[in-house]
Amino acid sequence: MKPRFSIVLALLFPFLAAAGPSAVAQSADPHDLYEQRCAGCHSEHAGEFVQESVLREDGKLMGRDGGMSVRALLSRGHGKLTPAQVEVVLAHFHEILDAGALFRDNCVICHGRAVLFARSHLGMKDGVLVGRYSDRAVDDFLKSHGRLEGSEISAVVKALSNQVTGETYRLN
Ligand code: HEC
Ligand code: HEC
């Protein structure tokens, strides 16, 4: 089936995208939401899905194949989210694109792909991202390494932590 045609189908028949247990009906956790409502039909990880299928144009999230506004798609019932859950998922997608762009612009040149760098050089210790051999906390280290500032550091640390644990989303 051609992607554009199936998007039309998905729009006309939102109940086709209505799979998923009602236990998540109230969930506000973006990882639970993605896993329960989207992963059945799309990539296992939100990060992969966003990198492959979502673009940002003028600050708006758009489907890469269909060129549709993601907000419009989800608001019409695709994935069967409540309006509040739509906001959670959209914010999460922005977060993924932000972290991906930061890593690409500031780190890739020396460290290569985030997922490989994180898995070979970093680890989690008591919930804190650390250098696997140096044992130093990455958020402290980045204050004087890599030219990120403020919230950019926490965004990248969060994304790299996700690469290490593999539980939530992958960057690239
Ligand atoms: C029942 C299956 C199903 C579920 C569940 C589902 N989708 Fe989809 N989705 C599709 C199909 C089919 C398409 C159109 C073909 C394509 O691009 O993969 C699509 C298209 C999209 C697109 C447009 C992609 C593009 O390249 O234009 C986005 C964005 C999207 N879905 C997001 C989501 C999100 C977010 C969720 C969870 C809240 C979700 N979908 C849940 C089946 C599903
Ligand atoms: C100009 C090349 C360069 C750039 C750009 C760069 N790094 Fe590094 N990075 C290195 C080198 C070389 C080391 C190893 C030397 C050291 O540990 O001080 C390192 C070490 C690290 C470590 C420490 C790992 C440990 O074992 O403690 C982390 C974490 C890290 N980089 C993350 C980043 C992030 C995130 C960015 C982007 C914001 C970035 N780096 C940008 C070259 C770079």
Which of 62, 93, 124 finishes a domain? 93
What would the 3-class secondary structure string for 95-159 be?
Answer: HHHHHHHHHHHHCHHHHCCHHHHHHHHEEEECCEEEECCCCCEHHHHHHHCCCCCCHHHHHHHHH
- Look at residue 6 in the predicted model and tell me its pLDDT: 54
122 and 155, same domain (yes or no):
yes
* Cβ–Cβ under 8 Å, residues 20 and 36: yes
Could you give the number of structural domains in the chain? 2
Residue from 24, 36, 41 whose mutation best tests the ligand 1 pocket (most atoms within 8 A of CB): 41
Q: Please write the tens of the pLDDT for every residue from 68-80.
A: 999 999 999 999 9
- Look at residue 66 in the predicted model and tell me its pLDDT: 93
Is residue 17 over pLDDT 80? no
Q: Please write the tens of the pLDDT for every residue from 105-129.
A: 999 999 999 989 999 999 999 999 9
Q: Is residue 110 part of a domain?
A: yes
112 and 79, same domain (yes or no):
no
Q: What percent of the chain is modeled with pLDDT above 90?
A: 67
pLDDT band, residue 81 (cuts 50/70/90): very high
Strands 122-125 and 128-131: antiparallel
65 and 86, same domain (yes or no):
yes
Query: Which atom of ligand 2 lies closest to the CA of 109?
Result: 5
Is residue 101 over pLDDT 80? yes
Residue from 145, 152, 154, 157 whose mutation best tests the ligand 2 pocket (most atoms within 8 A of CB): 145
Alpha carbon of 107 to ligand 1 centroid (Å) = 31
- Look at residue 165 in the predicted model and tell me its pLDDT: 83
pLDDT band, residue 28 (cuts 50/70/90): confident
116 and 154, same domain (yes or no):
yes
- pLDDT (mean) for 28-46: 90
Q: Is residue 144 part of a domain?
A: yes
- Look at residue 170 in the predicted model and tell me its pLDDT: 55
Residue range(s) defining the domain that contains residue 34: 3-93
> 125 CB under 6 A from ligand 2?
no
Alpha carbon of 93 to ligand 1 centroid (Å) = 13
